[in-house]
Amino acid sequence: MDEPSSGPEAALLVAQIDALLPQTQCTRCGFAGCRPYAAAIAAGEAGINQCPPGGAATIRRLAQLLRREPLELNPANGVESPPRVAMIDESRCVGCARCLPPCPVDAIVGAPKRMHTVLQERCTGCELCIAPCPVDCIEMRIPTRHSVNRPEVNRERFEAHSERLVRRADERQRALDEKKAAASRA
């Protein structure tokens, strides 16, 4: 299938590809989230085999949509595994809050210097919270409660998370600009 390079057809194709992705926002594909990966696929800049959370089923659906041959999952992007969620060993959590910002769907709740916990029903299993934890109290496990990956809900939570980050950055910049303006008047 020839992918359109721009315009409404390209936007539609990106949306169709994005709808097939699991919306874990894990970045293992090499892109900043599922939508940028979908855009790269649509532009012919990325393979259809770079999504470990989606695995073989997603690769097959993408191949069908794009009328391409299915490929094996690229091992450079990871391996397919059963769905897992982050679990915080609350007895070891020091409340540093470093796990909060990288969570793309705000599935971790807590406050600085307080224990944190993961809302299993919201966790996409992206693993982005693990690396920033200084005490290694986060690990990935098979969910203990019934947890269903709902891509459309994950997408909504990711968009809300992203919008909140932009709003906070804008607020910080406005406050900084106001301080600079006040200092220059003084």
Full pLDDT tens readout for the chain, 186 residues:
455 556 778 899 999 999 999 999 999 999 999 999 999 999 999 999 999 999 999 999 999 999 999 999 999 999 998 889 999 998 999 999 999 999 999 999 988 888 889 998 899 999 999 999 999 999 999 887 666 668 888 888 888 888 988 998 899 999 988 888 888 887
Please report the pLDDT score of residue 146 as a whole number: 61
**How many angstroms from the chain centroid is the CA of residue 111?**
21
Side-chain-facing half-sphere of 8: CA atoms under 13 Å: 0
What domains can you pick out in the chain, each with its CATH number? 8-77 (1.10.15.40), 82-186 (3.30.70.20)
Please report the pLDDT score of residue 10 as a whole number: 86
Please report the pLDDT score of residue 161 as a whole number: 87
Please report the pLDDT score of residue 99 as a whole number: 94
DSSP string, 8-19: HHHHHHHHHHHH
Q: Give the C-alpha separation, 89 to 39, whole Å.
A: 37
